[in-house]
Structure formats: structure tokens, C-alpha cells
Amino acid sequence: MPAYRQSPDVPSGGERTRRKALLDELVVRVPEAIVLLDPDGRILSVNPEFTKIFGYAEMEALGRRIDEVVVPDGDCAEPDEYTSRGTPEGTILNVETVRKRKDGTRVPVSILGVPVSNAGGQTSEYLIYRDITERKRAEARLRPSEESLAEAQRLELQQIVDLVPQFIIVLEPDGKCTYANRVARDYTGLSLEVFRGPDVIARIVHPEDLTRVRPQRQRGLAGSEPFEVDGRMLGKDGVYRWFFGRYNPLIEGEQVIRWYMSATEFESRKQEEERVRKENVRLEERNRIAQELHDTLLQTVMGASLNLAATLYQLSPDSTVKPRLERVLELMNQGVKEGRDAIQGLRASESDNSDLVLALSRIRQQFVEVQPDIEFRVTIAGPQKQFPAEIQHEIYRIGREALVNAFSHSGAKRVDLELEYSGCELQMWIRDNGRGIEADLLEQGRDGHWGLAGMRERASRIGGRLKILSRAPTGTEIQLSVPLERSSGQQSSG
């Protein structure tokens, strides 16, 4: 009969003893608290780590219910160890929660519950506790709490709203202000408490606009659709400026629970609209004057010149008065031509000479056929600057008068136009090498002609300095200086 061999799956008595010793050693050394409960939830045994974590000596814990020793924290909703026991088929508990120590302090722990059955079919339970205090601290350092995150987001949003270059105002459904951003407070010089006070719009909206703004605002707030309002608002510097405001509702359900108003300054746009309006009025007046000159004075002079020409035709060549009448006719024709030039200048829009250099350069083209041999040179120094429209127009008219005289009357072979733009002024020189202007005409002008006097008046009107230097027969030089600062002031005062 073969020798009996013990099955390798069934350990011998010595092996069982060795394994039990290793298991006991493991239970003693592991960094988790291990508790064995009987079927009634009373403590049968604990390992040394249990004492380290919870502060109870082994003899203090044995025989007591687990929920009397390891007390659940009242703020935690997780199930406690005893009331959550289940069946022996699997793990009954695997949670992270907070428990109280013997001294009443709180400790965050992870809990693993494992059911075991004895030979009699009764179910006991192992509870394994791990202290996770350090892990929770590390997580807290890496991730702010929800409250801190929400507060940080709120502060960031408020900072963004305060830095937006617009008025941002939050209103209750009835229009009462609850918040005004920093831009609104800094512009008006009013505190948030004043904004929250009664009828703040009466303090900041221009009285002339208030009678329009208030009813528009009331009608808008009575509805639930976005609406817009514009008006002048008072700054802390005492100046009213135009603002455009838009109201947007926040709706929950079918009711407005809050209004958000944003307002943007558009003073520059209003100023531009006013400038265009004044320019249009001035242009209409110039066109009216030009029409009247054409229909009255110019037509009358032209009719008289035609009659005079017919009379001269009938006179005999040896008539003693014929030379004098021919001179009169010549002056009349010259007056008609100058009148037409003046009317053309009156009808010209500001945009025709918005580019000063180009506009002055084009004048030469008007004399190409009658004076083809005149050399014309244009020199520009410095970056070209744009003047206010009325200043630019006066500079153009001065330059035009000087160039027309040079091309028409000087007998010059060369005409120079030089413009120099510096940081503080514009200087313009117009030179010719013609016959020059006699001293008495330079001082007093020719009877019935307003060219030189008109140039001086235009220069004075824009705060410029005009010099006319001429010595027959060496030519003429006209100098114009226009300070940039004074020209800007002239524009604003107009």
C-alpha cells in the first residue's frame, strides 16, 4: 500500500503555526488601525496602530461597541461602521470620512470594512482605518477650497468690471442703483453710497437733458426689453460730456430681476457732428453769397462791358476818347475774371483743399495755356499736418492769392512754393523772379483791388504773421507763419 502523503493544499500544524505568527506580525506592524468586531459590533481585538490613531489603549477598547469608541463626526453624512454592516459576500464599507479621537479632536480617515464568517456561521467584521490627515493637507495646499475659489472668482470679476473703460451700473427692477464700477465713481466723484441714494441721475445728468432722459428711462424700466438713452453727464471736473447708455435686463422666468447699464463717452463724436454742422452752415452761406454775386454784381458788370465793347466798335480809330474807354473795358474784363475766381473759391467745398500741398499745386494747371513757360517748383519740409478746416481754408486762400498774382501779373519765369512743417508752426513761402511790386502799391494796394489787404486780414484772423517783401524789378516773396497751438485754439473757440 502506498505511503500516505498530506495534500499540499492543507498546511500541516507547524505550517499553520508559522503562518499565524506571520499574520500576527503583519497586523502589529501595518500603518493602519485594524479592529475585529463580533456579530454584535463589539470590539474583540485591536492592533497597536489603533491606539496611535484614536488614543485608546487595548484594554479600554475591548468589549465596547465600535461607535462608542470611534465616534462619528456629526458634520459627516457617511454611514458609520456599525449600522452599515452587510453580508459576508463582500466589502461592506469603503469610505473617507472624519472620526473623533479619545480627546475629542477630529481625524480624517479612510475606512475599509471586511466581513468574515466563523465555523458556526456567525459573521464577524474587520475594520481597517487609515489616517489620511497628511494627504488632506496636501490636497488643501494644491487646491483652494470651494469658498476660497468662489471668492477669488468674485474678486476677479469685480476687478474686470472696475477696469472696463465704461460706466457699469447694476440696478434693481425699479431702477434703484445697487452697484457702480470704479470708472463711474472716478468720473463723477461720487461714492457708491451716493449712487445707491435717491434720484442720483438728477445729480449727474445735464438739466437740459434730464427732462428727456428721465421719462425715456422710466418707460424702458417698465418693460423687459433692452433700451438706449443718451445725454450729458457731469464729471467731477465740472464739465458735462456726452454719454451713450444701454440698459440690458436679466430675466428669470418672465420677470426682470436686475438691469445692467453700460455707458460710453462719445463727446468727440458730438464735437465732430457740431463741426460738420457749422461747416455746412458756413458752406451754405458762402454758396448764397456766391449766387448773389453772380446774379447781381457780376452779371451787371458783364452787361456793362458788352455795351462798352459795342460802343468802342462804333467809334472811329482816331477818336480821342477811344484809348481811355479801351482801358476802362480792360479793367472791367479783369474785374469779371477776378469775380469769377472769387465765386469759384466761395463755391469750393472744404474737401477741395483738405490736402493743402495738393490744392496749392493744382493752381499752376489753371495758367498752363496762358503762361506755359513759367517754371513752378514745390518744396515740402517736415511731415505734413492737417489743420482745422477753417484754418486750412484761410491758409489755402492766402496761398492761392499769392500764386495767382505770381502767375498772372508778375511776368516771372520761375515761381517757388515752399512749405515747412515744424513742431510748433507752419511756414509758407511763395517767391517769384518777376518785376516786383512798387512800394506805394505794396503799402496801400491798387484802388479797387483787395488782394493784398485780404491776405493780411485772413492771416490776422487765424493768428498768423504775413510778410510781403518785394523790390522792383527783383521779384516778390510772401511769407506766412501759422502757430499750431494758436490755430488749434482758434478752432475750439469758434
Q: pLDDT tens across 231-256, in order?
A: 999 999 999 999 999 999 999 988 99
Name the CATH superfamily for 148-265: PAS domain (3.30.450.20)
CATH code given to domain 13-140: 3.30.450.20
153 φ/ψ angles, rounded to the nearest 5 degrees: -65, -40
Cell of 485: 497751438
Check whether 87 has a pLDDT greater than 50. no
Phi-psi region of 234 (alpha: psi -120 to 50; beta: other; left: phi over 0): beta
Instruction: Assign 146 a pLDDT band (cuts: 50, 70, 90).
Output: low
Q: Which residue has the higher pLDDT, 274 or 88?
A: 274
Rounded CA separation 388/390 (Å): 6
Of residues 386 and 257, the one with the higher pLDDT is 257
- pLDDT in the model for residue 294: 66
Q: What is the mean pLDDT of residues 99-109?
A: 90
In the chain, list all ranges with CATH 3.30.565.10. 353-494
Strands, sheet with 33-37, edge to edge from the N-terminal-most edge strand: 43-46, 33-37, 123-131, 106-117, 93-100, 71-72
In whole angstroms, give the CA distance from residue 61 to residue 33: 13
For domain 271-347, give its CATH number from 1.20.58, 3.30.70, 1.10.287, 3.30.160: 1.20.58
Q: Where in the chain is the domain with CATH 3.30.450.20?
A: 13-140, 148-265
Among all chains, which residue has been given the C-alpha cell 468674485? 154
What is the pLDDT, as a whole number, of residue 351?
A: 46
| pLDDT tens track for 367-415 | 777 678 889 999 999 888 878 878 888 898 899 888 988 888 888 899 9
pLDDT of 177 higher than 90: yes
Tell me the average pLDDT across 105-118.
Answer: 86
Positive or negative, the CA dihedral 180, 181, 186, 191 is: positive
Q: Which CATH architecture is the domain 353-494 placed in? A: 2-Layer Sandwich (3.30)
370 compared with 466, residue with greater pLDDT: 466
Comma-separated ranges of CATH 1.20.58 domains in the chain: 271-347
- Look at residue 86 in the predicted model and tell me its pLDDT: 46
Q: Please, which residues have CB within 8 angstroms of residue 295's CB and are 6 or more apart in sequence? A: none
Q: Is the pLDDT of residue 147 over 60?
A: yes
Q: Kindly report the backbone phi and psi dihedral angles of residue 388, in degrees, each rounded to the nearest multiple of 5, phi listed first.
A: -55, 150
Q: With CA atoms as reference, report the closest residue to 180 among 267, 261, 266, 265.
A: 261
Instruction: Say if residue 172's pLDDT is above 90.
Output: yes
Question: Can you give the pTM of this predicted structure?
Answer: 0.37
More confident residue, 229 or 24: 229
- Does pLDDT of 225 surpass 80? yes
Nearest to 110 by CA among 141, 67, 81, 88: 81
State the pLDDT at residue 491.
40
Residue 477: pLDDT over 70: yes
